[in-house]
Structure 1
Amino acid sequence: MKKSLLSMAVAAFVLGGCSLIPEYRQPAAPIASDWPQGAGYPAAAEVAGVSAAEQGWREFFHDATLQQLIQVALENNRDLRVAALNIDAFQAQYRIQRSNLFPAVSADAGAKRQRLPAEVSQTGESTSSQYSATLGISAWELDLFGRLRSLSEQALEQYFATEQARRSTQISLVASVANAYLAWQADQSLLLLTQDTLKAYEDSYALTVRSNQVGVASALTLSQARTSVESARVNLNRYQRLVAQDRNALQLLLGHALPDSLPSTPNLATGLISELPAGLPSELLQRRPDILEAEHQLKAANANIGAARAAFFPSISLTANAGSLSSDLSGLFKGGSGTWLFQPQISLPVFNAGNLRANLDLAKIQKNIQVAQYEKSIQTAFQEVADGLTARETYREQLNAQRDLVSANADYYRLAEKRYRTGIDSNLTFLDAQRSLYSAQQALITDRLAQLTSEVDLYKSLGGGWLEQNTASATPGAPKS
């Protein structure tokens, strides 16, 4: 009997090599072979050098404080923790699905005593006993047409997709922490600028009050000076609120209290981050985890078609066991008490009102949906990198122009103040110079933040931010059977 069961198992696995999964062909990338060229773009997209996906975030972000915050976030962020647990969950689902390929062997023992009254027994009142001990398999489906293997392949691809989703979550987290930190630094800079500007406005207002008291400055001039002071106070409260909210947002991303060693002086100087080459558009297919995730989902949908096709063919299951059966417990394992059962079963679909055909059509439609989503993920990645390249090129010139504007307004302010102090010009010109300088300085900080944020987003778009993860956030290895 044991040899018979072994032979059936071997035959089932040999025949089970049959698969009805369509041959997978990677869809052509619906993007251009190179990045956009022309006004607003670099003369030629850089290709040589270390790609973003190969450069760890510690190498890209040079600020020690930012490196510390990213490390804390990787260890404590709850979204990243959920993404890692999702990998474990899908790995377990794959193992559950794969286990259906193998027979489930169970050992069973049972006892039964039954009393029959005389009214229902031809031999009168009787009491019977039955004891059994068996070893065997129950309702094991022989995967002759690859239905179970297709479902196992689908579960495996979904596991791989979840692994890529976890990578994508980490990349987004690294970029989010960096952008939140930079926004906090920029708002701190704006707060300091506003505090200095308010002090200058208050000093100017005090001088105007004294001039008004001696009849030199008019009530209109006094009112205009007060308007500047109150406007700066409004901005002061606004930036105090933004700085506090920036800290709260950063703490949420970290999933932990902010370190006590954070510097009190904001830093938006040059050299905070590296500048990476864009590479070729085709490289996005190998390094963007969201694209890889979409492709694994496409492969899972492709495998599901194989399962839907296999449902049209007969399903064969096997129940078999061998053991001992006796009416006395003491005779359960004596000679002559052996028993065995061999029960194959075949089920052939005859009529199901189009259910199987509809399931196959649905599987094909779902694959077409995944193809469209895969292509859309490629197009989105191309657009994000192209936006990052034009931002890199144009922000350079914009920042240079804005610095020149600040310098020009500073000269205007110095001249206006000198002419106002000597009585050559009215206070109106001086107030206008103050406001222009303050506005230009605000715009410079805002533009610098936008430039740094665009570089972080470009790093993320190129697939950077995955390397240098800690052991707590490492992705699990290949699924276990």
Structure 2
Amino acid sequence: MKAMAPPLLALALAGCSLAPVYERPAAPVPAAYGTPPADGQAATPQDWRGYFNDPALQAWIDAALKNNRNLRVAALRIQEARALYGVQQADRLPSIDGTGEFSRGRVAEPGQPGMPVSNRYRAAVGIAAFELDFFGRVKSLSDAALSRYLASEEAHRAATLSLVSETATAYFNQRSLAEQLRLTDSTLALREATLKLTQRRYDAGLETAMGLRTAQMLVESSRATHAELSREYRQAVHTLGLLAGDFSLPPDTDAVTLESQSLTPLAAGLPSALLARRPDLRQAEDALRAANADIGAARAAFFPSVQLTTDIGTTAGSFSDLFGHGTGNWVFAPKLTLPLFNAGRNRANLSLAEARKNIAVAQYEGSIQQAFREVADALSARDTLRDQIDAQRKVRDADRERQRLAERRYDRGVASYLEMLEAQRSLFESEQEYIRLQQRRLVNAVDLYKALGGWDQEAGPS
């Protein structure tokens, strides 16, 4: 038995695999986004700290990565998958158990009354039902568990990427509302001063009731807008606190303005191979590898299985004689199981495994196409937003000049009061829209960062 054990163990551990040879499906997308740059280079940032270079935003992201509870759950899922993989991997090696037994009793024999009470001591070491993996069933199950464990790691990276992106988006939303609030405060103060002046002019008979009511309407409109923005701002602060896992963190009132925010630019012509860095796509491919390994386990079920049981021990009637001469015993019991009839269960399991692999292939290819569309949309939005912001900046500057001229014309008695109020209202709207567009520009940059898969915070580009 000792001579047979090493060859049998080596044969079991090196059993053949019936799983199909894995081949990554071809990506059903173009090779690049847009037209490559003239120099053939496409700039990419190095990590999220280099991409989001606002110190206040970096502090929020650091807090989120440290305290966010959803990210902790994703990390614990890795431990769960690692443990399951360890359980499955352990099945590839024999489990050796030591046992000790004691029994005391009397067994009556026919025709022999009054049999004495006897003791029985036994100590043994053995292997219980270890499967010799000739056809790779256990190996395929282990490979599938490994792929699912790796998929859980990619899920954690995807959760990290999503958390960084959500925190940046929430931060820019909070900064946009803060800037709109400051704009509303200054506009409200201006309109209240204008209303006081209008009231005095109306009392002196120098202003019409229409002008007075218009001034009052603009003041109350500014107050309503201020109340709405205050509510949205507080909610945005709460959202940041939830993402950061700490509601006590105060918002930074001296943060960089949206217009001054400059994220690392990305050149056109980015290769679509950059999608390989996306953790959700790597997670989908790990799921595909697991489904591929499941086919090997299902195929192996059609072939005989061999289980090995061994037991080496000693038995005696008294504990002092347990390890004495002549008390040794051993058992070597291989068991062969050949599937003969199971009502088509094995064939159905194989069909199920193949169907799940086909589903995994379709999901993987669909994920690639979805990822390609997200990047393409973000790049397209970036180009159009740039033009829109330039146009809106010109609108804002024109409105500023228009208000200045309207105030001068009104002071000289050339323009009506309503003309000046209309210029103030138009300037407020154009400045507010300019702030919103700056927010959309930054959120679009966050979307592009997330769509390209982000960068590992420790190891750099994947």
Please report the TM-score for the alignment, with normalisation by the length of structure 2: 0.94
**Which residues in structure 2 correspond to 1:43-58 (within 5 Å)?**
44=37, 48-52=41-45, 55-58=46-49
Alignment of 1:314 onto 2:304: yes
CA deviation after TM superposition for structure 1 residue 265, in Å: 5.2
**Out of 30, 33, 47, which is 1:32 matched to?**
30
Report the Cα distance in structure 2 between the residues aligned to 1:255 and 1:427, rounded to whole angstroms.
Answer: 52
- Give the structure 1 partner of residue 378 of structure 2: 388
- Opposite residue 23 of structure 1, the aligned amino acid is V
Whether 1:99 aligns to 2:90 is yes
Which residue does 2:431 correspond to in 1? 441
Residue 407 of structure 1 and its aligned partner are, at CA, apart by 0.8
Greater CA drift, 208-217 or 313-322: 208-217
Residue 96 (structure 2) pairs with residue 86 (structure 1) = no
Report what 2:187 is aligned to.
Answer: 197
1:66 paired to 2:66: no
Deviates more, 1:217-226 or 1:158-167: 217-226
For 2:235 and 2:247, locate their aligned partners in 1 and report how far apart those are by CA, in whole Å: 14
Contact 2:42 2:268 in 1 (8 A): no
Q: Assess if the C-alpha contact under 8 Å between 2:288 and 2:361 holds in 1.
A: yes
Q: Which amino acid aligns with 1:21?
A: A
- Report the 3-state secondary structure (helix = DSSP H, G, I; strand = E; otherwise coil) of the residue aligned with 1:3: coil
Distance 1:220 1:51 in 2: 58
Match of 2:93, SS state, is coil
Do the aligned partners of residues 128 and 136 (structure 1) sit closer, same or farther apart at CA in structure 2, a change above 3 Å counting?
same
**Amino acid in the other structure paired with 2:85:** Y
Distance 1:263 1:201, change over 3 A: closer
Give 1:479's aligned residue: none
What is the Cα deviation at residue 263 of structure 1?
A: 3.7
- List 4+ stretches of structure 1 deviating above 4 A: 43-47, 257-261
Count of aligned residue pairs for this structure pair: 461
Residue pair 1:111, 1:129 contacting (<8 A) in 2 also: yes
Give, as a single letter, the amino acid of the residue that structure 1 aligns with 2:339.
P
- Cα 1:195/1:285, change in 2 over 3 Å: closer
Secondary structure in 2 aligned to 1:126? coil
The alpha-carbon deviation at position 248 of structure 1 amounts to 0.8
Amino acid at match of 2:27: A
2:11·2:132 contact (CA, 8 Å) conserved in 1?
no
The aligned amino acid for 2:28 is P
Identity of aligned residues (%): 44
Greater shift in the superposed pair: 352-361 or 68-77 = 68-77
Matches within 5 A, 1:234-313: 234-257=224-247, 259=249, 262-264=252-254, 267-277=257-267, 280-313=270-303
Residue 19 (str. 1) matches residue 10 (str. 2): no
Q: Structure 1 residues 419, 121: closer, same or farther in 2, change over 3 A?
A: farther
Q: What is the SS of the residue equivalent to 1:2?
A: coil
Amino acid at match of 2:9: A
Contact 1:45/1:279 (CA < 8 Å) preserved in 2? no
Pairwise CA RMSD: 2.2
Provide the residue aligned with 1:5 in structure 2: 5
- Assess, with a 3 A threshold, how the Cα gap between structure 1 residues 46 and 246 changes in structure 2: closer, same or farther: farther
Answer whether contact 1:298 1:371 (CA < 8 A) is retained.
Answer: yes
Distance 1:466 1:301 in 2: 27
Indicate conservation of the 8 Å contact 1:116/1:125, yes or no: yes
Distance in 2, matches of 1:275 and 1:101, equals 50
Question: Is the CA contact (8 Å cut-off) linking 2:33 and 2:272 kept in structure 1?
Answer: no
- Residue 136 of structure 1: aligned partner: 126
Per-residue deviation at 1:125? 4.2
For residue 465 of structure 1, report the CA deviation from its aligned partner: 3.6
Q: 1:356 to 1:8 in 2, by over 3 A?
A: same
TM-score under structure 1 normalisation?
A: 0.91
Do residues 453 (structure 1) and 443 (structure 2) align? yes
SS at match of 1:87: helix
Q: Which runs of 5+ in 2 are unaligned?
A: none
SS, match of residue 428 in structure 2: helix
Aligned to 1:40: none
- Aligned counterparts of 1:299 and 1:243: Cα–Cα separation in 2: 46
How far the C-alpha of 1:308 sits from its partner, in A, is 0.5
Range moving further from structure 2, 229-238 or 272-281: 272-281
